[in-house]
Chain A
Amino acid sequence: MTDESPVPEEAKAGVLSAPPLAALAEAFPDAVVEYSATGQNVFQVDGSRLVEFVQAARDAGFEMFIDVTAVDYYRRRPGPRYDVVIGLLSLTHNLRLRILVGVDGDVPSAPSITSVYPGANFYEREVYDLFGIDFTGHPDLTRIMMPDDWDGHPLRKDTPVGSVPIQFRDTHKVQ
């Protein structure tokens, strides 16, 4: 979760103790490094440098692509509305990395990492389908979960769950 308060030095030190992460932090000094509350390695990267960062991560030893998803922090925090969350795994160093990219705007958009990890294809389509975040450079950005003619993006916080009122629930009550 992105946070305006400065990251304490010990928290950063925990992440930076692993060589590949230290190398990444050095190469991308404006990426915010965080050791999350549960002790996981998190980098917050700006969208403009995302593909470069992911490429560098892959070169640094994060061979395996794990996940791309998004979180909608609708009115919950002062920063950007969405966070695109990318998960990577390094088998050689036995490390996990989470990359958060803040995305905002009426037509939120983030760069696609399919050129680095082809496996991000379906994941980014899912984020587009459910959140409406456009991934520039994606080869086939279309709906994947919902029908093609569906209106709206279900997982956004301002879209209701879509529940249907329970029928006959109050019939036993005296009218």
Chain B
Amino acid sequence: MPEPPGFLTTTINSIANWARYQSSWGATFGLACCAIEMMHTGAAHNDLARFGMEVFRASPRQADLMIVAGRVSQKMAPVLRQVYDQMPEPKWVISMGACASTGGMFNNYALVQGVDQVVPVDVYVPGCPPGPQSLMHAILTLHEGIKTGEFVRV
């Protein structure tokens, strides 16, 4: 949404973005193997809570970040879209892993070849599965993008 530049609006904008990236809570959308690595990223060794991602909310209404962790099958795609639609703005999507980003090694009838066919994606994370460090890098990239306003959401 284009705003007239001005000292007050840019300050409010940056404060709003600061609030958004410092406490983006994820929606639990762990599907397959990547979900296990996502669990590991949230657990003790690679603690996500230090980046403000304190909890993963089960209800999409209370989440602003959806990490699609795993392969999305044809049957799951409408569910994915529905959960995405249920999240209130501003929301971001990280496509975690090769299967979510492009269909991965399963180039066949059963999988959606990339979740960007179903939901708009902000950050893609390669890996099969991406280790916790890769996922954290992606999340921090997303946070950077929110901070600078690159990933703009109303």
- A binding-site residues for B, Cβ under 8 Å: 145-147, 150, 154, 159-164, 166
Contacts and interface: CB of A to CB of B under 8 A. Distances in A.
Contacts, number: 24
A155 B74 CA distance: 16
Contact of B74 (A146, A161, A163, A166): A146
- Enumerate the 4 nearest inter-chain pairs by beta-carbon distance, A residue then B residue, closest first: A162-B109, A163-B107, A147-B75, A164-B113
Interface string B91-132: 000000000000100011110010000000000000000000
Count class of interface residues, chain B = under 10
Interface of B: 74-75, 103, 107-110, 113
Contacts of B107: 161, 163-164, 166
| Contact residues of B: prevailing secondary structure | loop
A161 B109 contact: yes
5 contacts: A145-B75, A146-B74, A146-B75, A160-B109, A162-B109
A150 B74 CA distance: 10
Contacts of A160: 109
A161 B108 contact: yes
A169 to B, nearest CB: 12
Contacts of B110: 145-146, 154, 162
Given A161-B109, A163-B108, A166-B107, 18 more contacts: A145-B75, A146-B74, A146-B75, A146-B110, A147-B74, A147-B75, A150-B74, A154-B109, A154-B110, A159-B109, A160-B109, A161-B107, A162-B108, A162-B109, A162-B110, A163-B107, A164-B107, A164-B113
A12 to B, nearest CB: 40
A166 B103 CA distance: 11
A146 B108 CA distance: 13
Nearest to A152: B109
Max chain A CB contacts within 10 Å: which of B74, B108, B109, B110? B109
